[in-house]
Amino acid sequence: MTIQQIKQRFGIIGTSPLLDRAIDIAMQVAPTDLSVLITGESGTGKEVMPQIIHQLSHRKHGKYIAVNCGAIPAGTIDSELFGHEKGAFTGAHDSRKGYFEVANGGTIFLDEVAELPMETQVRLLRVLETGEYIRVGSSKVQKTDVRIVAATNVDIPEAIKKHRFREDLYYRLNTVPIRIPALRERKEDIHLLFRKFAADFAAKYRMPVIQLTPDAIELLEKYRWPGNIRQLKNVAEQISVIEKSRTIDAQTLMKYLPDFNESNLPVLYDENSAEGMNERDLLYKVLFDLKQDVTELKKLVFGIIQNNVNPADIENNREMAQSIKHLYLNAPAPTNDAISAAGVSVIPDVITKTHGAGNPTPTVEVEETLSLAEKEKELIKKALEKYRGKRKDAAKELGISERTLYRKIKEYNIKA
């Protein structure tokens, strides 16, 4: 079976080489019983790969069970996965089979696997290594023959450092890694996907299909799509329902991409990290803005040195100069790792001091550090204020996931 046949069978749209590579790996690993870890940002379509692997394997006639580990409460996840005996806990009126027992001979897809509690990770590791598990409330060891495919949008190596994920479990799950590319890495596929969604919604709501003008297509491909395919589908549905005109230009499309300017900044990409990449986006955004401010201030100072700056220009930039001076002189030092992770050079600060009767004597003071944490905290506060505490909108504005925003709010003790 070819990659094109796989796309047709599973309804996959796109011609991106990165997407083809992911499908090719899934096809090669399917006949084996190796564990597979699928990584990629939220909304990229990771749930399709386990279905391809299962349907092309010798287990295709067995059970296929998809489990969202993040949607099951920590207190019941062991019971759901491994089953329980009657009376094992309050409310356990009867014995119950777990997913590993039900799916014996088949495949289990563990979505959001990084959300599993540490205790459950230990049990899962045992299943991977020996095929053995014990029901909750029982002492009898049972065997299962299940192929495990896991997926996550979390940077697991970073979670390991923070003691949120077991390193031995990571290596057992990550026997064969498959990375699903973000939509912004598949620019050639964005318009194809949009047209498919537009056609689907036109049929669903019984209306003519919307068409994009060339400038709208260009805008569509420039946008970063932090929500990936899920966000693109949402935009296509909104436009299909709301807009009366069936021809959509860039100006109309812009109304559905309110954060286009902020989201179109250059980004640093870590192919093994989705959540980590979002945090780096935010870090880069802070440093990018600071770099621009410092550049403007340097131009102003050098203009004063060469006596070719209009006094009115100095007055117009006085407020900016004072605010930047205060910002840099009071900024605590970030860690070297944070600066290197962002991949951005810190530019020395240039500040003017006045001596005597108001004649500016330029001096150069080099600030070797910038406070990344404070700037990040300030941006989060501003986003929360802008959207009146609505964290979903604030996270979208910042270009990070809601989970990351919640963690940052807790970490910086921000009252939202």
Residue 319 confidence (pLDDT): 52
Class of the CATH-defined domain 3-179: alpha beta
pLDDT of residue 37: 96
Q: Which pair of tokens denotes residue 312?
A: 């009115």
What 8-state DSSP symbol labels residue 16? -
CA distance linking residue 84 with residue 102, whole number of Å: 13
The domain ranges of the chain are 3-179, 184-263, 275-370, 373-411
Model confidence pTM above 0.75: no
pLDDT tens-digit series, residues 254-283: 999 877 654 444 444 444 444 444 555 566
Q: Which portions of the chain are predicted below pLDDT 70?
A: 260-289, 291-372, 416
> What integer pLDDT is reported at residue 89 of this predicted model?
81
Cα four-point dihedral sign 6, 11, 17, 23 = negative
pLDDT at 363: 45
User: What are the phi and psi torsion angles at 92 (to 5°)?
Assistant: -85, 80
Cα 99 to chain centroid, rounded = 28
Q: Tens digit of pLDDT for each residue in 168-193?
A: 999 999 999 999 999 999 999 999 99
- Report the pLDDT value the prediction gives residue 40, as an integer from 0 to 100: 94
pLDDT on residue 214: 94
Helix axes 48-55, 17-29, angle to 10 degrees: 40
26 touches 53 (CB < 8 A) = yes
What is d(CA 131, CA 128) in angstroms, rounded to the nearest whole number?
6
User: What whole-number percentage of the chain has pLDDT above 70?
Assistant: 73
196 closest CA partner among 224, 236, 231, 234: 236
Report the top-level CATH class of 184-263: mainly alpha
pLDDT at 339: 46
Query: 7 Cβ partners below 8 Å, 6+ apart?
Result: 13, 14, 23
What gap in Å lies between CA 191 and CA 232, rounded to an integer?
10
Q: What angle do CA 303, 307, 311 make, to 5 degrees?
A: 80
Q: Could you give the CA distance from residue 125 to residue 354 in angstroms, rounded to a whole number?
A: 67
3-state helix, strand, coil in the chain (%, to 5): 50, 10, 35
